[in-house]
């Protein structure tokens, strides 16, 4: 079976994790700090605050904006469900907006259509690694949280996604390009916000446990506010540091494979594949294709047929408003979201995918769509 994704990990990651274990420092410590600095530098952010997942990073970001009961936060329904759930964690209401058919991302128009006087923020997702047109949202005058779970190494107007973001949340789940097993990062531009974010991930402590131990003498910490345990471990950060060193090679390889998919897939009539928007480049975290309007075969049947041929594809990006967890949740019409979620599928793309396997995927897809 050709998997849809396989993380690129080697002996270096195993050794780095072992070194962290041998050092005796396994909770958040010096490796977490080093990973934060290296990651922030790579994505052009002023400060990195490592956390346990992108989901907890999103929760912290909204908490930092003081989002609470009675507030509304605009999110795309077309996203992993954690994007919307983070709003509910704050007791606020996620308000679903539709997306661009081309990129799968929110647009200033779709957001403006759902803004009310209770709107407190927008969570802008760089879906599947395709950068959102961040600057186009400035006119809305609303705080923006970037859900960059998938976007490590994607670019926007020639700079890394994340450069200049006031709050951006990143994921290191194995389904993403870089992995620490589980893990996430919040990047922040304001130094005072970064101080508070560090405190919020660690029970609201005035002095981090790592600084207390490193300091030697007796330091009594205070708990300044009700907060969370969203820490990353030094074992995870050790792996993350090695993974970060692979990022450029991972993206180069994914883009090479994506270009090859583009030329192979051209023979399937009407099939549309994700590609770079005019203003940036995607890291091809998810290589999705949209079936043509007149493809006689239903998307789920295409997935079944691919599986029967040894190709593990996945449905396209989910639509949160269609899940039971959001049953009865009011929303505007979301026609593009519903079309993309029902007509798209994600093809296998990972560092060690071979040309032969890629040919096999495209042959299987051509057959599955009855396009031959
Ligand atoms: C994967 C993903 C998340 C959740 O990331 P975790 O690190 O697993 O919490 C959030 N948003 C988007 C867009 C994602 O793709």
Whether 177 and 244 have beta carbons less than 8 Å apart is answered as no
d(CA 228, CA 230): 6
- List phi, psi (to 5°) of 72: -115, 145
Distance from C-alpha of 147 to C-alpha of 165, rounded to nearest angstrom: 10
- The best mutation among 7, 53, 55, 184 to test binding of ligand 1, ranked by most ligand atoms within 8 Å of the C-beta, falls on 55
Cα gap 351→355, rounded to integer Å: 11
**pLDDT of residue 35 exceeding 90:** yes
pLDDT band at 220 (very low <50, low <70, confident <90, very high): confident
> Which two three-digit tokens encode residue 292?
């043509």
Mean pLDDT, residues 156-184 taken together: 97
Give me 319's structure tokens: 């639509």
The pLDDT value given to residue 30: 96
pLDDT category at 209 given cuts 50, 70, 90 is confident
| pLDDT of residue 347 exceeding 80 | yes
CA–CA gap between residue 278 and residue 126 (Å, rounded)? 15
* Cα 105 to middle of ligand 1, angstroms: 15
Q: Which residue has the tokens 């009594």?
A: 220
Angle at 45 (CA atoms; ends 284, 125), nearest 5 degrees:
40
Q: Which residues contact 91 (CB under 8 A, 6 or more apart)?
A: 68, 69
* CB distance 53 to ligand 1 below 6 Å: yes
Residue 328 predicted with pLDDT over 90: yes
Strands, sheet with 280-281, edge to edge from the N-terminal-most edge strand: 159-160, 155-156, 280-281
- Burial track 82-93 (b if 16+ CB lie within 10 A, e otherwise): bbbbbbbbbebb
pLDDT at 202: 97
- 168: Cβ below 6 Å to ligand 1? no
Q: Say what the pLDDT of residue 150 is.
A: 98
Tokens 């998919």 — which residue? 261
Strand partners, 49: 186
pLDDT surpassing 90 at residue 294: no
User: Within 13 Å and on the Cβ side, how many CA atoms surround 298?
Assistant: 3
Q: Residue 372: pLDDT above 90?
A: no
125-141 tens-digit pLDDT: 999 999 999 999 999 99
Q: What is the mean pLDDT of residues 320-342?
A: 98
Distance CA 305, CA 313 (A): 10
Secondary structure class of 36 (helix, strand, coil) = helix
Question: Is 54 close to ligand 1, i.e. is its CB under 6 Å away?
Answer: yes
Report domain extents, the chain.
11-245, 247-368
Burial class (CB in 10 A: 0-12, 13-18, 19+), 126: buried
Choose among 70, 54, 53, 73: nearest CA to 62.
73
Average pLDDT, rounded, for the chain: 97
Over residues 164-189, the mean pLDDT reads: 97
pLDDT digits (tens, 9 = 90+) for 44-71: 999 999 999 999 999 999 999 999 999 9
Ligand 1 atom, smallest distance to 126 CA: 13
pLDDT score at 73: 98
Give distance in angstroms: CA of 85 to centre of ligand 1: 11
Is the CB of residue 111 less than 8 Å from the CB of residue 353? Answer: no
pLDDT recorded at residue 26:
95
Report how far residue 332's alpha carbon sits from residue 193's, in angstroms, rounded to the nearest whole number: 34
Cα radius of gyration rounded to whole Å, the chain: 21
- 47, 176, 196, 246: the catalytic one is 176
Distance 313 CA to ligand 1 centre (A): 19
Domain 247-368 has CATH 3.90.1150.10: yes
- Ligand 1 neighbourhood includes 177 CB (under 6 angstroms): no
| Residue 212 pLDDT level (bands cut at 50, 70, 90) | confident
So what's the pLDDT on residue 301? 97
Instruction: Report the DSSP beta bridge partners of residue 124.
Output: 146
pLDDT band at 96 (very low <50, low <70, confident <90, very high): very high
pLDDT score of 70: 98
Annotation says 176 is catalytic: yes
Among residues 114, 166, 102, 159, which one has the least CA distance to residue 140? 114
pLDDT tens profile 188-208:
999 999 999 999 999 999 988
Please compute the mean of the pLDDT values over residues 253-259 and round it to a whole number. Answer: 98
Give me the mean pLDDT over the 10-25 stretch: 97
Q: Is the pLDDT of residue 254 over 90?
A: yes
Give the residue carrying structure tokens 């919307």.
84
Task: Quote the pLDDT of residue 11.
Answer: 98
Ligand 1 atom having least distance to the Cα of 182: 7
**DSSP single-letter state for residue 78:** B
Give the pLDDT band (50/70/90) at residue 210: confident
Residue 226 three-state SS: coil
- Name the pLDDT band for 211 (thresholds 50, 70, 90): confident
CATH classification code of 11-245: 3.40.640.10
pLDDT value of residue 367: 96
Query: What percent helix, strand, coil does the chain show, rounded to 5?
Result: 40, 15, 45
pLDDT value at residue 79:
98
Tell me the pTM: 0.97
Choice between 123 and 209, residue whose per-residue pLDDT is larger: 123
Q: What is the pLDDT of residue 72?
A: 98
Contacts of 272 (CB under 8 A, 6+ apart): 289, 290, 292
Q: What percent of the chain shows pLDDT beyond 70? A: 100
Report whether 44 contacts 66 (CB < 8 A).
no
């Amino acid at each position: 079976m050709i998997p849809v994704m396989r993380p690129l990990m080697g002996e270096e990651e195993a050794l780095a994790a072992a070194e962290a274990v041998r050092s005796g420092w396994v909770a958040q410590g010096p490796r977490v700090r080093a990973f934060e600095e290296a990651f922030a530098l790579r994505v052009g952010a002023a400060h990195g605050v490592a956390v346990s997942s992108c989901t907890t990073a999103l929760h912290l970001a909204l908490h930092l904006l003081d989002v609470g009961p009675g507030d509304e936060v605009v999110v795309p329904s077309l996203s992993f469900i954690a994007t919307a759930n983070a709003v509910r964690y704050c007791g606020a209401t996620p308000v679903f907006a539709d997306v661009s058919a081309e990129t799968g991302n929110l647009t200033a128009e779709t957001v403006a259509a759902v803004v009310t006087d209770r709107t407190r923020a927008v969570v802008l997702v760089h879906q599947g690694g395709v950068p959102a047109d961040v600057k186009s949202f400035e006119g809305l005058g609303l705080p923006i949280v970037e859900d960059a779970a998938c976007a490590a190494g994607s670019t926007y107007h020639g700079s890394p996604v994340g450069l200049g973001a006031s709050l951006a949340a990143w994921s290191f789940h194995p389904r993403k390009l870089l992995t620490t097993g589980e893990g996430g990062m919040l990047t922040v531009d304001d130094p005072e916000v970064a101080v508070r974010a560090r405190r919020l991930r660690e029970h609201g402590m005035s002095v981090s446990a790592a600084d207390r131990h490193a300091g030697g003498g007796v330091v009594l910490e205070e708990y300044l506010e009700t907060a969370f345990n969203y820490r990353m471990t030094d074992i995870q950060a050790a792996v993350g540091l090695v993974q970060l060193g692979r990022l450029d090679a991972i993206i180069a390889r994914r883009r090479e494979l994506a270009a090859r998919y583009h030329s192979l897939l051209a023979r399937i009539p009407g099939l549309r594949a994700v590609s770079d928007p005019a203003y940036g480049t995607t890291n091809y975290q998810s290589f999705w294709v949209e079936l043509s309007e007149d493809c006689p075969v239903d998307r789920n049947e295409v997935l079944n047929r691919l599986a029967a041929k040894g190709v593990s594809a996945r449905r396209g990006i989910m639509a949160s408003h269609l899940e039971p967890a959001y049953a009865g949740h009011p929303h505007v019409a979301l026609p593009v979201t519903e079309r993309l979620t029902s007509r798209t599928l994600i093809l296998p793309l990972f560092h060690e995918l071979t040309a032969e396997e890629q040919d096999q995927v495209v042959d299987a897809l051509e057959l599955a769509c009855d396009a031959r």
